[in-house]
Structure 1
Amino acid sequence: MTDRGREITVWDSSMWKSGGEFELDGRRFQVRSNVWGNKYTMVDDAEAVVASADRVGRRRWTVEAAGQTYHFRRKSIWRDEEELVLGDTRVGSVRKTSFWRGDVVVELPGLATALQLFVFGVVISMWDAQASAGGS
């Protein structure tokens, strides 16, 4: 993953379940899901919960971190894009920019980098699960 052209981390997907892990500024984070893939948590090296996501895969879902709740919604059933909303106003998004290469742009202003990476991991895991379900 890059930020303004500079690599900041590598997302390491889990092979056996939804989620993955990454290292940022010398700290390792794990992103884990429940068995249904509709709840995710991010824990740090000390196994402390840093963030959680609920109702993932639904039209509207939430992320909680540091006492804040962030609201997301699926832009359209036909597009790979999840929007960060404040009320009904779009203030950011995670979206695929290329179907063939799998490029994803994360624009989540105001969210800490680790939290943006958590949201990215949740969205990527959700898209992977949806693609697997569609192919079965």
Structure 2
Amino acid sequence: MLTARRASMWRGRYEIESDGRPVTVWDPSWWRNGGDFEIDGRRFQVRANGWGTKYRMFDQTGTEVALVERAGRKHWTMRADGRTYEFRRASFFGNRQELLTDGVPTGSMHRTSAWSGGVEAELPGLSLPLQVFVVGVQIAIWQAQQAAASA
């Protein structure tokens, strides 16, 4: 299980653990939607288009590793490693997202607290960098929604 906890209330950084072991820190970008993280010495950069509906993950060489499309919608996808992964929002009002395999839920992620911003994710079949990417994209979407609601 992947868990993400806000490192500070004043900055949007999240400490991410896998099965209780620290693996990385999601560091949001201040001037565009997305963020950066590092796993096992490999640096990744996540950037969104202007509308925040497409997110791309690049490795340290600038190669695109993964792409999320239709982010923030009821149904959305991630393409990586020659595969397409499907996700859906479990309910209109909830924050739970489900990973689907052949239309059947096989994993999920959800906010553990709106106040602390904590996230738990069980995403079987995805590599650790892809799990962090999906969780990071979801954090970015939730933060954008909170900012829009408070404006």
Aligned match of 1:59 in 41, 59, 74?
74
User: Could you tell me which residue of structure 2 aligns to residue 112 of structure 1?
Assistant: 127
Q: Distance in 1 between matches of 2:114 and 2:72?
A: 19
Q: Distance in 2 between matches of 1:14 and 1:98?
A: 22
Q: Distance in 2 between matches of 1:111 and 1:104?
A: 17
Deviation beyond 3 Å, 4+ runs, structure 1: none
Q: Distance in 2 between matches of 1:98 and 1:74?
A: 17
- Map of 1:81-100 to 2, 5 A cutoff? 81-100=96-115
Aligned match of 2:59 in 44, 48, 53?
44
Q: 1:99: how far off?
A: 2.2
Letter in 2 for 1:4: D
Q: Distance in 1 between matches of 2:116 and 2:150?
A: 19
The TM-score with structure 2 as length reference comes to: 0.86
5+ residue gaps, structure 1, are none
Q: Distance in 1 between matches of 2:150 and 2:62?
A: 34
Matched, 1:32 2:66: no
Q: 1:84: how far off?
A: 0.6
User: Could you tell me which residue of structure 1 aligns to residue 7 of structure 2?
Assistant: none
Q: 1:103: how far off?
A: 1.3
- How many residue pairs end up in the alignment? 136
Q: 1:87: how far off?
A: 3.0
SS in 1 for 2:24: coil
Q: Which range is displaced more, 4-13 or 75-84?
A: 75-84
Matched, 1:74 2:89: yes
Q: Which range is displaced more, 23-32 or 100-109?
A: 100-109
What RMSD in Å do the two structures reach over aligned CA positions?
1.0
Q: Distance in 2 between matches of 1:54 and 1:123?
A: 12
Letter in 1 for 2:23: I
Q: 1:21: how far off?
A: 0.4
The TM-score with structure 1 as length reference comes to: 0.96
5+ residue gaps, structure 2, are 1-15
